[in-house]
Structure 1
Amino acid sequence: MIPSQDIFTISSAKQFEKITLKVFRYQYENNVIYKEFCDLLKTDKGAVKSLEQIPFLPIQFFKSHEVLSSVEPVQETFTSSGTTGMITSKHLITDISLYEQSYRNAFSEFYGNIEDYTVLALLPSYLERNGSSLIYMVQDLIELSNNENSGFYLHNYDELISKLLELDAAGQNVLLIGVTYALLDLIETKKFQLKNTIVMETGGMKGKRKEIIREELHQILCEGFGVSSIHSEYGMTELLSQAYSLGNGIFESPSWMHILIRDPEDAITYVDPGKTGGINVIDLANINSCSFIATQDLGKKYPNNTFEVLGRFDNSDIRGCNLMVY
């Protein structure tokens, strides 16, 4: 087993690769589903010597299988949102402290001390269901902010508007974290000129509005909130780590998370920097489930390891991801 302090104190690409290969071997030996998947691809565990040689488990497996690399009891089950009748992903968590370490350390890395912020959360569609990993994280950040003004807002926009105006005018550092459609609803109710507020969108129209491209969305949000940039969080039920964009839709990952871009036509080949392909995520915080996830997102990676999310695959476009779907 790899100690968590090794995961969260990575300081170089060489160290990341060394620990990642250790995690690969550990999960091959301890995760029944992942081993079966690797064996179907005829992966020789001993021959895997680089990140690019590691097989990435298609994210759909979290809908059809229990993806576990641990025999410890399950402490939490995070589930994805979905429309009625839809099969949702389940991420079984045997050590919730890994998730807490991951988002607390990442927040500190990108934003500094949480106690310097008032955290206002506008996440209605997440609050209205159980099992959201985002709500778990934001609830904890609200508590860690140690600020009586921090809290969740559901549909009480008038209350949120007056609180936001009051805090921003008083010079408080505010983090407004919201699901996309609710942020749009808010600025249709009131136009702002915020000076001390970071607006962070977590993505998703959740079927409430028509999807629009990021550039257009961020322009509308910038104008509505009177800010120069919109921050974004890239996370999902199947991951215990998040990447953050501090503006312009360009994401950075914490040191224990890494992105590779696969060829959309060939799941085991990678494209050059700047080319569009499928996003593969290495998330070492997923030590007890699977750290190697082939997502259904499309993106581009740049030479400095930042990346962009451009959209999602249509299901019919997934290549090489139908193994073991039974």
Structure 2
Amino acid sequence: MKEPFHLEKTEKEIILLEKLNELSELHFNACEAYSKMIKKSEQEIIAKSIIDVPFLPVQLFKSMELKSIPDEEVVKVLTSSGTSGQTVSKIYLDKNTAISQTKALVSLMKPVLGEKRLPMIILDTKSVLKNRKSFSARGAGIIGFSNFGRKHFYALNDDMTLDYDGLKKFMDEFGHQKILMFGFTFMIWKYVFKKLKEQRIKLDFNNAILIHGGGWKKLSDEAIDSLSFNQQIKEQLGISEIHNYYGMVEQVGSIFIECKEGYLHSPSYADVIIRDPISFENVRNGVLGLIQVVSELPRSYPGHSLLTEDLGTIIGEDNCKCGWKGKYFTVLGRIPKAEIRGCSDTFQEGE
């Protein structure tokens, strides 16, 4: 893939719209459930603009089996994160979709991490990859980002305690050079930051780049936003560079990475749209609304245009001080009770 943040608005819309229309037609013909829902909702299958590309509410993946490939072509099934008893999304990948998503992630992270693989600390437990029930967004994230590292060290023991001895050994060997740290936001906060703070232990990861995402709802309950998270993590761990990212298992590979100015950016192969929570009409920049994500990557399932349960605001496009092109935006959090009625009900009736 080419550079992920080089396309300006006009060129990007032409290229991306063509690919999104191709996917809409592909899924309309290959996925019966998708076809029925599009007909029921009376959306045009070929859109004249990205805003008009037919979308599905993301929570449909929790109640329906949506795929555009025969069962024998499924090579991987990903599930969304969820607490015990919750229904999870199931996302079906074929070989080509899985490869495309991996390539896209590699392209996306190059501007942040460079070309070389870095010694890597995973702020999680290795057992999350052994338990198939927990091989969800968390496990998929670890596998995906592990591609950017080498000499992988899992910093948490199976009981979620920090492996101080192993961490010290790793830092003695690699601490003098740039290292990559990866983890899920809430996991880092609860099992690393809080534990170190309770024990009054400060660590020095001055050469580290931390990539993290997910779990913001739990942190917002503690009144912790991205700015305060970064400040406290830097103070406790001494990390020099921190990048949050926004993404979901329903569109894995299409993640939106935080730039040095603190904004999330849409890459050339994906985009964001903000819609009014009641009317679902597109709103102007600066207005808070529901986040819709579109991506050219999902070919094995109809996940190329999804209305999420998250609230966000587009700040601008092509003019961020960081130099990256594309829309840049912020995410406030999930809508209360996270249920998009009306739109979702229409799709369910059409099944």
Range of TM-score over shorter length: 0.7 to 0.9
**Equivalent of residue 183 in structure 2, options 173, 178, 186:** 178
Q: Distance in 2 between matches of 1:236 and 1:316?
A: 15
Relative contact order: is structure 1 or structure 2 higher (C-alpha 8 Å, sep ≥ 6)?
A: 2
Scaled by the length of structure 2, the TM-score of the pair is 0.79
Q: The residue matched to 1:159 in structure 2 has which SS?
A: helix
Specify the alignment match of 2:275 in structure 1: 262
Specify the alignment match of 2:321 in structure 1: none
Q: Aligned pair in 2 of structure 1 residues 131, 317: CA closer, same or farther (>3 Å)?
A: closer
Structure 1 position 66, deviation (Å): 1.4
Q: The residue matched to 1:182 in structure 2 has which SS?
A: helix
Specify the alignment match of 1:252 in structure 2: 265
Which amino acid counterpart does residue 271 of structure 2 have in structure 1?
A: H
Correspondence list, 1:158-307, <5 A: 158-159=164-165, 161-163=167-169, 165-166=171-172, 169-170=175-176, 172-184=177-189, 185-187=191-193, 188-189=195-196, 190-204=201-215, 210-214=221-225, 215-227=227-239, 229-240=241-252, 241-247=254-260, 249-267=262-280, 269-290=281-302, 291-304=304-317, 305-307=327-329
Structure 1 position 136, deviation (Å): 3.6
1:107 aligns with 2:109: yes
Cα deviation digits, residues 226-266 of structure 1 (max 9, x gap): 24553112121111221111345411132111111111111
Q: Distance in 2 between matches of 1:114 and 1:139?
A: 17
Specify the alignment match of 1:64 in structure 2: 63
Query: Residues 230 and 248 of structure 1 are in contact (CA less than 8 Å); yes or no, is this contact kept in structure 2?
Result: no
Q: Distance in 1 between matches of 2:56 and 2:62?
A: 12
Structure 1 position 161, deviation (Å): 3.8
Q: The residue matched to 2:142 in structure 1 has which SS?
A: helix
Cα deviation digits, residues 45-68 of structure 1 (max 9, x gap): 35x211111221001111111111
Q: The residue matched to 1:306 in structure 2 has which SS?
A: strand
Q: Distance in 2 between matches of 1:9 and 1:30?
A: 32
| Structure 2, unaligned runs of 5 or more | 318-326
Query: Residues 103 and 137 of structure 1 are in contact (CA less than 8 Å); yes or no, is this contact kept in structure 2?
Result: no
Identity %: 24
1:27 aligns with 2:27: yes
Scaled by the length of structure 1, the TM-score of the pair is 0.85
Post-superposition, which runs of at least 4 consecutive aligned residues in structure 1 deviate over 6 A? 205-209
Q: Distance in 1 between matches of 2:35 and 2:333?
A: 30
Q: Distance in 2 between matches of 1:108 and 1:84?
A: 36
Q: Distance in 2 between matches of 1:321 and 1:211?
A: 30
